[in-house]
A and B are shown apart, each in its own frame.
Chain A
Amino acid sequence: MSNAMVEARGVHKSYNGVEVLKGVDLTVVRGEVTCLIGPSGSGKSTLLRCINHLEKHDAGELFVDGELVGYEMRGGKLYERNDKQICGERARIGMVFQRFNLFQHLTVLENITIGQIKVKGVPPEAAKAKARELLARVGLDNKESHYPAQLSGGQQQRVAIARALAMEPKLMLFDEPTSALDPELVGEVLDVMKDLARSGMTMIVVTHEMNFAKEVANTVYFLDGGVIEESGNPREVLTAPRSERLRSFLSKVL
């Protein structure tokens, strides 16, 4: 087994002729936290969505857990995977969204059990037990019968993290998980994420929280205009940026 959970080589992606990713190379090591930073429109979220196959990349190679995303190598030929196989791949990659995207018509507990029951075929009682355990882990064990609309943004995001964890992912993707939160609620979500990082989960986090990146990330990538401008240890990259672009970006966000 290779040491890399995610490996991208020259990944390209265009929307309607606009090139969003212009050849991205990136390596995410197992058990490590990788932060993607950069101005909006730089392609951070698109890269994340390609890894989860929510978007199909146009060119380049993208490996998750040693396998090509969306393709299967058999006898020297690449076969495109069918929907069911792709769904199976996705089930092992957790994703947390900027706007939480909790299922509005389901209670907190049902949000966390539905994937387990319908996708993994876990018996309902076992799924509930796991959901309660995860709710306790994110500090929301008293909210299981609430509907998402009855929770604060921070609470919703913590439920969303529990929902993703319920699928027992090998990789967690966070797409600006704190950007839609009121400032005083950011901390509670970051705490859950730090705890998750300590437990050894492989995480890719698109974020504007530079302190989080500095504190938790093993590697940070700075994307600008669809390419990786700079990458490396966060303490070096974020405190002593080499490129002019990163310097000006950091001066705006810090």
Chain B
Amino acid sequence: MTTNGDAVKVVPVRHVGQWIAAAFVLVLVAMLVHTLFSKLPNGPFACHLTNGVRTCHRQSEWRFSWNIVFHYFTTSEVLHGLLTTLELTVLAMFVGVVLGVTVAVMRLSHNRLLSTSAWTYTWFFRGTPVLVQLFVWYYIAILYPSLSIGVPFTHWTLVHIHTNTLLTAFVAATVGLGLNEAAYMSEIARAGLLAVDEGQIEAATSLGMTRRQSLRYVVLPQAMRVIIPPTGNEVISMLKTTSLVSTVGVVDLLGAASNIYSANYEIMPLLIMASLWYLLVTTVLSIGQFYLERHFAKGALRSPPPTPLQRLRRDVQGVLSKFRTRRGVVGATG
């Protein structure tokens, strides 16, 4: 930089391609917003008399029938379906996480029988479609009409129960989704356990901790950091996979929507209504995941990642300071 003691104007690189792409995307967004809130002349006929002449024309209505979407949004049928969806998600994920972590620990066991059983479990439940598994649990009474607890290979029984009394549609759905999820969760948990440095286990061992203690107090808490993000993914995925349960007679959110549209033929509005609910719940879950990740990142980073609010503040300050330096004096070397 040669100067005569004056400030030199710094010209930043112009990103022409970026501007063109941004303009293109902006047009697409405008088109999307426009079509979302456009109207179609597909309503009922409205007639009126003008100078004794009766004219009729169709009323304009929202293309996406927003009035119908929001009319059903909070009806008790839909809310009941939503509740079932949420219950199934929570219960199936609970089964999935607890069983999945157990299978992962078994898989890493030195005992060959345990590790092979764990591998086989994952192989089977990951290798067959979840829809098939749901059907199998729903119709399991065909294979096992009754269930009993007793001593294996003898006729001595303690409890005896009809399968269909125990495995209602809801229970069958929970079991089916949960066992399937456990197979995926076990791989996620295994990755997390393997990600913890072996030195951590050695240190715990040298303090006199048993394998169980070192797993509980040292390995698992650190594995959580690796396990949480894909698990959040699984929860969101499960939220939507629960929509399969309507095939075995459980009325979830989508089931409720489909019950309604099979009566009034408003298919699109009700599908949109259901999708909006799924999106809403996913949004809440994503926010929860962010704070959970932050919690388990404790100690792993010198400073925790900023919350969205902190990041927004930083971004705004960044942009402001950029403007300031662009207009200001950028160093003059003598």
A252 / chain B contacts, CB cutoff of 8 Å:
none
- B residues less than 8 Å from A90 (CB atoms): 205-208
A87 touching B202 by the CB < 8 A rule? no
Tell me, yes or no, whether A227 is within 8 Å of chain B by CB. Answer: no
The number of chain B residues with a CB under 8 A from chain A is 25
Q: Is the CB of A52 within 8 A of B206?
A: yes
Contact A99 B207 (CB under 8 A): no
**By the criterion CB–CB under 8 Å, are B213 and A119 in contact?**
yes
Of the listed stretches B118-126, B127-135, B215-223, chain A binds B215-223
User: How far, in angstroms, from A164 to B88 measured CA to CA in the complex?
Assistant: 47
Are A91 and B208 in contact, CB atoms less than 8 angstroms apart?
Answer: yes
* Bound CA span A251–B296, Å: 49
A32 CA / B238 CA spacing, docked (Å): 61
B222–A102 contact, CB under 8 A?
no
A147 proximal to B (CB < 8 A): yes
CA distance A52 to B204 in the complex (A): 12
Contacts of A97 in B (CB 8 A): 199, 202-203
- Comparing A13-21, A103-111, A189-197, A206-214, the segment that makes contact with chain B is A103-111
The answer to whether B299 and A83 touch across the interface, beta carbons within 8 angstroms, is: no
A52 to B205, CA, bound (A): 10
Q: Given B197, B206, B209, which contacts A93 in the complex, CB threshold below 8 Å?
A: B206
Given the complex of chains A and B, what is the CA–CA distance between A97 and B225 in angstroms?
24
Is the Cβ of B206 less than 8 Å from the Cβ of A118?
Answer: no
Q: Which of A87, A88, A105, A167 contacts B300 (CB 8 A)?
A: A105
Q: Are B299 and A54 in contact (CB under 8 A)?
A: no
Are A54 and B199 touching (Cβ within 8 A)? no
**Which residues of A73-93 have CB atoms within 8 Å of chain B's CB atoms?**
83-84, 87-93
Within 8 A of B (CB), among A114-136: 114-115, 118-120
The minimal Cβ–Cβ distance linking A169 to chain B, given in whole angstroms, is 10
A149 engages B299 (CB within 8 Å): yes
Q: Which of B116-175 contact A (CB under 8 A)?
A: none
A106, A118, A150: the one contacting B213 at CB < 8 Å is A118
Q: Say how far B51's CB is from chain A's closest CB, in angstroms.
A: 83
Residues in B whose Cβ lies below 8 Å from that of A99 = 199
Which residues of chain A are within 8 angstroms of B197 by Cβ–Cβ distance?
A: 101
**Contact yes or no, A119 B207, CB < 8 A:** yes
Provide the residues of chain A in CB contact with B299, threshold 8 Å.
Answer: 104-107, 147-149
Contact of B207 among A83, A147, A167 (CB under 8 A): A167
A54 partner residues in chain B, CB cutoff 8 A: 202, 205-206
Query: Considering only CB atoms, which chain B residue lies closest to A114 in the complex?
Result: B217
A246 on interface, CB distance cutoff 8 Å = no
For residue A12, which residues in chain B have a CB less than 8 angstroms away from its CB? Answer: none
Which of B203, B210, B213, B296 interacts with A103 by CB under 8 Å? B203
Of B202, B209, B217, B302, which contacts A101 at CB under 8 A?
A: B202
Closest A-chain residue to B197, C-beta based?
A101
**Closest approach, in angstroms, between the C-beta of B157 and any C-beta of chain A?**
36
B301 interface contact, C-beta 8 A:
yes
Instruction: Judge whether A87 and B200 touch: CB under 8 Å.
Output: no
A94 close to chain B: CB less than 8 A: yes
B311 interface residue per 8 A CB criterion: no
| List of A residues within 8 angstroms of B326 by Cβ | none
The 9 closest A-B CB pairs, nearest first, are A91-B208, A115-B207, A101-B203, A147-B299, A101-B199, A95-B206, A119-B208, A105-B299, A90-B208
In the complex, besides A105-B221, A115-B209, 11 extra interface pairs with C-beta distance below 8 angstroms are A87-B208, A88-B208, A97-B202, A102-B203, A103-B200, A105-B296, A105-B299, A114-B217, A115-B207, A164-B207, A167-B207
- Residues of A in contact with B (beta carbons under 8 Å apart): 52, 54, 83-84, 87-95, 97, 99, 101-107, 114-115, 118-120, 147-150, 160, 163-164, 167
Interface residues of B (CB under 8 A from A): 197, 199-200, 202-211, 213, 217-218, 221-222, 225, 296, 298-302
Could you list 30 examples of A-B contacts with CB < 8 Å? A54-B205, A87-B205, A87-B208, A88-B208, A89-B208, A90-B207, A90-B208, A91-B207, A92-B208, A93-B206, A95-B202, A97-B202, A101-B199, A101-B203, A102-B203, A103-B200, A104-B222, A104-B299, A104-B300, A105-B298, A107-B299, A118-B217, A119-B208, A119-B213, A149-B299, A149-B301, A160-B203, A163-B207, A164-B206, A164-B207
